[in-house]
């Protein structure tokens, strides 16, 4: 007989009015996949079409419903103290400005800050004013801060 293998990815998405924003690898269907679903709050949503927007490590996908109003946003233009917010069951993680490094791809969190898949898609907030400055993308234990669209 034939056996189907189920693969999954985990991470965090930010609900916006009528859509979700998050790491592209969570919102794009792999080319070799037959059926792809996104599980949100215990409900499965089929990913049968392409996201409405993608840019580098981020994507936005339309979803029915109003969603929540996201917090105020701004660009991260220089290293500053940040707060990573993901699973409500986990404590938020503070990241000091000294652990941020800027390179050609944007902001990278120093490798000495331990990050795993539980932080993939976490909201990145500025500690100084509480504004949302990016989304955390974690790959192989390395964290990068993806700029928000329009910033």
pLDDT tens-digit series, residues 91-146: 999 999 999 999 998 899 999 999 998 999 999 999 999 999 999 999 998 999 99
**Radius of gyration, alpha carbons of the chain:** 16
Mean pLDDT, residues 81-100: 93
Instruction: Examine the pLDDT at 1 and tell me if it is beyond 60.
Output: no
Q: For residues 16 and 138, which has the higher predicted lDDT (pLDDT)?
A: 138
Mean pLDDT, residues 66-77: 80
For residue 81, how many other CB atoms are within 10 A of its CB? 14
Q: For residues 6 and 107, which has the higher predicted lDDT (pLDDT)?
A: 107
Q: For residues 34 and 61, which has the higher predicted lDDT (pLDDT)?
A: 61
Q: Enter the pTM of the model.
A: 0.77
Average pLDDT over all residues of the chain: 87
CA atoms within 13 A on the CB side of 110: 11
Beta bridge partners of 16: 19
Residue with tokens 């269907």: 29
Whole-angstrom CA distances from 86 to 3, 30, 120 are 34, 24, 8
Give whichever of 21-25, 32-36, 44-48 has the largest mean pLDDT.
Answer: 21-25
């Amino acid at each position: 007989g034939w056996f189907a293998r189920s693969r999954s990815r985990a991470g965090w998405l930010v609900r916006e009015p009528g859509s979700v924003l998050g790491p592209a690898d969570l919102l794009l269907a792999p080319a070799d996949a037959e059926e792809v679903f996104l599980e949100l709050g215990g409900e499965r949503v089929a990913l049968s079409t392409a996201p409405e927007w993608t840019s580098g490590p981020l994507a936005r996908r339309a979803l029915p419903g109003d969603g929540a109003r996201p917090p105020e946003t701004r660009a991260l233009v220089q290293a500053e103290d940040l707060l990573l917010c993901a699973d409500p069951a986990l404590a938020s993680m503070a990241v000091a400005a000294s652990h941020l490094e800027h390179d050609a791809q944007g902001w990278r969190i120093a490798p000495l800050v331990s990050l795993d898949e539980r932080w993939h898609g976490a909201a990145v907030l500025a500690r100084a004013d509480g504004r949302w400055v990016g989304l955390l993308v974690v790959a192989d234990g390395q964290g990068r801060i993806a700029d928000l669209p329009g910033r």
